[in-house]
Structure 1
Amino acid sequence: MSGEETVTAAVLVIGDEILSGRTPDRNINYIAAHMTSIGIRLREVRVVADDEREIVDAVNALRARYTYLITTGGIGPTHDDITADAIAKALGVPIDHDPRAVELLEAYFVRRGVTSTPARMRMARIPHGAELIANPVSVAPGFMIDNVIVLAGVPDVMQVMLDDVTARLRTGAKMLTETIKLSRPEGDVADLFAAHQQAFPDVAMGSYPSFADGRISTQLVLRSTDSEMLERARQGLMAQLNSRGMV
């Protein structure tokens, strides 16, 4: 399993409303969990304002560094929804009303009895060469061009778009997790845990303390794509914890 490809991703959250604190982000955790479940490692998250230059710079930096770049936000009908234009500029391609998106939106507006205005049709502007990402919730599509995946910022819409695009993505070895729960503070096990990490450098390890109902506890989490190595690391750690009466 250790020979499988490592597939990575970054998330670029776009929107003044996130940076101002007016709107809490609800997408990062969902995307991270989804990526982990399909064998893609989320390595970085950035948040940028609705500023074309900042978006372009971030897109070009992240798409070069990771297998995939996922963006959220900024593909709606208003003047400050500039993500599609910024993506087109970053990749050096034209952008215009895409006939496929126009057809989807016009049919949707007819069904709802809504007037097709220039503002609403902004959501049909797609960079040339992009694949559309389906949006069963409100029809206006996302898109994928090169290794950049452009999704809506509204969580319910983002989630169905992510589901649609998943089948097109390369995936790698899935990350496996083992958790050991201790009714002890983190400091009691810190030295032992650090030494165990050195013994198993290819197994990611982390400790997560918590305090609930007046009790301190710590979770020791081990992660690896290699199931056999992960099990050896878990068994070795349990043996040491047992020998010291910690479990």
Structure 2
Amino acid sequence: MTEGIEAAAKPATITAAVLIIGDEILSGRTKDRNGGYIAEYLTAIGIDLREVRVVPDVEDEIVDAVNALRARYTYVFTTGGIGPTHDDITADAIARAFGVSIDEDPRAIAMLLEYIRPEDMNAARRRMARIPAGARLVVNPISKAPGFWIGNVIVMAGIPAIMQVMLDNVAPQLATGVPMMSRTVRAACREGDVAADLATIAANHGTVSIGSYPFMENGQYGTHLVLRSRDAQALEAAHNEVIALVARMTLAAG
């Protein structure tokens, strides 16, 4: 085998969706911190997050969302709804979506007993050991209650600190694509001042996406121009053109 074949065979794009489950998110009682974290994490390892959905603690809606997303993307990451209370129904909904049974998993019970005394293992806590048939467990080193991975769906806790260590656990096992690279140029102008020229640069570099993000600092308008691409050469060329554009505008504003 010649050197570099493995890298050459790496797919350009691996896609993902995040399904955030919980009435508390939709009511505003809890502010979601998981979607943005997962987006940044996946981008860094070469997975494109294409969609984020939020659904209530309603089994039919969870099932419908899971089935729609898992058919469309390489991976689906869910957060929330795998705790000990009556409204933690994610595991049951995932089992139903895949058409498999669900029951207490001895592996999950063993994990929970590392954290919970046997005399405290009541019916509510045992709910956290109910795992759909055929699923792999996702280790949770904080509170030991595991997530699970079935098909292309990875089910994680809603508590951010626990979700993050679960994601660390599964990340080495994920297929990844070519990482997305980015460059940022700060411009002392409004979006509308550069929109036409940016459109021309974007048209000339089809593999580079260019976004503009306005801000205000010390009473002055400005725009961050963000370029993203998997093609390093195209990205560098477009980046140089944007730098030149900003320099011309700065000189003209003199």
Cα distance in 1 between the residues matched to 2:8 and 2:82: 39
Cα–Cα, structure 1 residues 36 and 246, in superposed 2: closer, same or farther, change >3 Å? farther
Contact 2:211 2:227 in 1 (8 A): yes
Q: Report the secondary structure of 1:197's partner residue.
A: helix
1:89 to 96, 101, 105: 96
Give aligned-pair identity as a percent: 57
Correspondence for 1:222: 227
Q: Which residues of structure 1 form unaligned runs of 5+?
A: none
2:115 is the counterpart of 1:116: no
The answer as to 2:56 corresponding to 1:52 is no
Counterpart of 1:25 in structure 2 is: 32
Normalised to the residue count of structure 2, the TM-score between the two structures is 0.93
Report how far residue 3 of structure 1 moved. Answer: 7.3
1:79 aligns with 2:98: no
2:92 alignment partner AA: D
Partner of 2:206: 201
CA distance in 2, matches of 1:225, 1:186: 25
2:173 aligns to what?
168
The CA distance in 1 between the partners of 2:91 and 2:8, in whole Å, is 38
Change (3 A) 1:246 1:37: farther
1:62-115 superposed Cα distances (whole Å, 9 cap, x missing partner): 0000000000000000000000000000011111000100111123212xx861
Deviation of 1:139 after TM superposition, in Å, equals 0.4
SS of alignment partner, residue 213 of structure 2: strand
Query: Structure 2 CA distance, aligned partners of 1:193 and 1:168?
Result: 39
| Conserved? CA contact 2:207–2:231, under 8 Å | no
Matched residue SS, 2:148: strand
- Whether the aligned pair in 2 keeps the contact of 1:11 and 1:28 (CA below 8 Å) is yes
Structure 1 residues 185-244: Cα deviation after superposition (integer angstroms, max 9, x where no partner): 111111111111111121111000001221111111000011111001111222333344
Structure-2 residue corresponding to 1:11: 18
Q: 1:186 aligns with which of 179, 185, 191?
A: 191
- Selected match of 1:152 from 151, 157, 164: 157
Amino acid at match of 2:246: L
CA distance in 2, matches of 1:211, 1:98: 54
TM-score by length of 1: 0.95
Aligned residues: 245
CA RMSD between the two structures: 1.6
1:14-36 C-alpha deviation (Å, 9 max, x unpaired): 00000011111011110000000
Shift of 1:183: 1.0
Pair 104,194 (structure 1): closer, same or farther in 2 beyond 3 Å: same
Q: Which runs of 5+ in 2 are unaligned?
A: 1-6
User: Residue type of the partner of 1:163?
Assistant: D
